[in-house]
Amino acid sequence: MRFLQLFALISLLTLLSAFTPQDRNRLGPMGQPQASPTPTPTPLPPPTVKMDAYRTAAARIIGAALTSDRAYSRLAHLTDHIGNRLSGSSNLEHAIEWALSEMKRDGLDNVRGEKVMVPHWVRGEEGLEMLTPVSRKLTMLGLGNSIGTPAEGITGEAVVVRSFSELEQLGERVRGKIVVYNAPFVDYGTTVLYRLQGASRAARYGAVAALVRSITPVSLQTPHTGAMQYDEAQPKIPVAAITIEAAELLQRMYDRGDRPTVRLKMEAKFLPDAESANVIAELKGTEKPDEVVLISGHYDSWDVGQGAHDDGGSCIVVWEAATLLKELGLRPRRTIRVVLWTNEENGLRGGNGYRDAHRAELAKHVFAIESDSGIYKPEGFGLAATAPPQVRANLQEIAKLLSGIGSDRIAASGGGADIGPMMREGVIGASLDVEGSHYFDIHHTPADTLDKISPQDLKLCVATIAVMAYTVADLPGSLTGD
């Protein structure tokens, strides 16, 4: 009996470890869910790297990261003084200038902005009102990339569906109406489809506008913005996020036969593309400077809140990792390249532009890390499911250096939106994985602010990225074991 219980427990744990929340929420560029993660191949080959050689360096890095307040001070400047940073905004360009200037003061190498033209979507004034059966203002945020409404707004009867399949059943009956998607949060990758595709799928049946329940498990009348995408085959209609509270109110009224009508007003529009830049700084390698270990986050954010967790914190973390190594005199054999991506949120021009501009040297990118899941307690890295078993074995060995701070897990899959383009060209990529239970509470909201970031978690993320990047960049042999 005891043996059976133990066996059942082990089976359960194995199952759970194969489907972590990170896996369920793993995303491709623009938030599309990726294919299910491939389980870690077992058994892995023995590691070819010698972790013991890096204990001293890891100790110095972790000690320094956990005792420095600089990363938090810089994140406070970025969030409190510069603020949120949508592509095309002056805030983003100020943030870029500030980082370039500070990175030079830090003495990092080859500090530069690499020009990228970015979409320049602006929200303008916007609002949503229920007109009947009662008059009430509803909290909303227009979705990024949406078109606006005429100045007088779009008024229509709200037809509320809980799923695309309910929409399909209604079909042409939504013509001339405003479709409200009230899909409860399952996981980000699943539920975000309503934000991405909701407008065009409703427009297909003649809807004149769409409203999407915010992609979040919780709400205190909290609207979540984020990118939407038009299907070019359908008419373009405006689309906005509403709060869980508003979606449930409309659902109740619709279910009771109240036939609620609402008026949506949005000034949203695109201005001409704007000039922006990926911010790049390096710690030049001593022996193989043309080989690159890339560490990155995205510098742009939505135009609400402070873009603290998403993704200003990650930018400060990867930058601090490089500066800390430089201060410690830990210059590795290969080059560590910090990249703060522009335009992840509504275009991915930074990630695509980098791939294009650096195509010739992509084969020399030995490893690329992206942090874009918020700054919470780091748990390790999510390694691309396609990574060779020898690389996985070696990274698992290196990650043991992080066991003392609990960030030594190499999960079965991972990657990132901005490093996606280069990964599709063969670069081995990974995400920084963090404890993610509250990320989607504040994601793309006015509540993504510095107070939500624990200074300790920020330090732990710096330590985790710095130890991993330094060790991989300094290996005498190759990560692939060749």
For residue 21, the SS3 value is helix
Options 74-82, 195-203, 386-394, 462-470: segment touching its own copies (CB under 8 A)? 74-82
**Rounded least distance, CB 302 to its own copies, Å:** 14
Instruction: Tell which one of 40, 197, 200, 219 touches its own copies (CB under 8 A).
Output: 219
Amino acid identity, residue 238? P
Q: 């330090």: which residue's tokens?
A: 459
Q: Which contacts of 157-160 are long-range, i.e. CB under 8 A and separated by 24 or more positions? A: 157/259, 157/260, 157/261, 158/211, 158/250, 158/253, 158/254, 158/260, 158/261, 158/262, 159/207, 159/254, 160/247, 160/250, 160/251, 160/254, 160/255
Assess whether 344 carries a catalytic annotation. Answer: yes
Instruction: Tell which one of 6, 7, 19, 81 touches its own copies (CB under 8 A).
Output: 81
**Rounded least distance, CB 437 to its own copies, Å:** 14
**Rounded least distance, CB 221 to its own copies, Å:** 4
HEC per residue, 245-263 = HHHHHHHHHHHCCCCCEEE
**Rounded least distance, CB 135 to its own copies, Å:** 9
How far is 221 from 291, CA to CA, in rounded Å?
49
Instruction: Give, for 339, the enclosing helix (H) or strand (E).
Output: strand 334-341
Options 32-40, 78-86, 185-193, 361-369: segment touching its own copies (CB under 8 A)? 78-86
- Smaller CB distance to its own copies: residue 213 or 349? 213
- How many CB atoms lie under 10 A from the CB of residue 105? 10
Site string for its own copies, 125-164 (x = CB under 8 A): --------xx-x--x-------------------------
- Smaller CB distance to its own copies: residue 114 or 258? 258
- Smaller CB distance to its own copies: residue 176 or 184? 184
Options 106-114, 250-258, 281-289, 291-299: segment touching its own copies (CB under 8 A)? 250-258
Restricted to residues 292-311, the positions that interact with its own copies (CB under 8 A) are 305
**Rounded least distance, CB 80 to its own copies, Å:** 6
CA dihedral of 399, 50, 422, 23, whole degrees rounded to 10? -30
**Rounded least distance, CB 216 to its own copies, Å:** 9
Picking from 87, 147, 92, the residue whose alpha carbon sits closest to that of residue 270 is 147
Q: What are phi and psi of 341, to 5 degrees?
A: -70, 145
- Smaller CB distance to its own copies: residue 94 or 284? 94
Q: List Cα–Cα distances, 135 to 129, 132, 180, 203, 416, in angstroms.
A: 7, 6, 18, 26, 44
CA 89 vs. chain centroid, Å, equals 19
**Rounded least distance, CB 85 to its own copies, Å:** 13
Instruction: Tell which one of 249, 283, 395, 428 touches its own copies (CB under 8 A).
Output: 249
Determine which one of 344, 345, 370, 397 is catalytic: 344
**Rounded least distance, CB 211 to its own copies, Å:** 16
How far is 479 from 466, CA to CA, in rounded Å?
17
Helices 313-327 and 455-474 meet at what angle, rounded to 10? 60
- Smaller CB distance to its own copies: residue 83 or 332? 83
- Smaller CB distance to its own copies: residue 182 or 396? 182
**Rounded least distance, CB 366 to its own copies, Å:** 39
Q: Which residues pair with 218 in a beta bridge?
A: none
Amino acid identity, residue 15? L
Instruction: Tell which one of 187, 245, 273, 435 touches its own copies (CB under 8 A).
Output: 245
Counting contacts by CB under 8 A, is residue 259 touching its own copies? no
The count of C-alpha atoms lying within 13 angstroms of the C-alpha of 461, restricted to the half-sphere facing its C-beta, is 35
Counting contacts by CB under 8 A, is residue 316 touching its own copies? no
CA 173 vs. chain centroid, Å, equals 37
Q: 């013991």: which residue's tokens?
A: 52
Counting contacts by CB under 8 A, is residue 222 touching its own copies? yes
Options 217-225, 326-334, 355-363, 404-412: segment touching its own copies (CB under 8 A)? 217-225
476, 417 in Cβ contact below 8 A? no
- Smaller CB distance to its own copies: residue 267 or 273? 267
- Smaller CB distance to its own copies: residue 219 or 342? 219
461, 313 in Cβ contact below 8 A? yes
- Smaller CB distance to its own copies: residue 338 or 450? 450
How far is 232 from 93, CA to CA, in rounded Å?
31
Site string for its own copies, 438-457 (x = CB under 8 A): ---xx--xxx-xxx------
Per CB under 8 A, residues contacting its own copies are: 76, 80-83, 133-134, 136, 139, 218-222, 244-245, 248-249, 252-253, 256, 305, 441-442, 445-447, 449-451
Show which residues are catalytic: 344
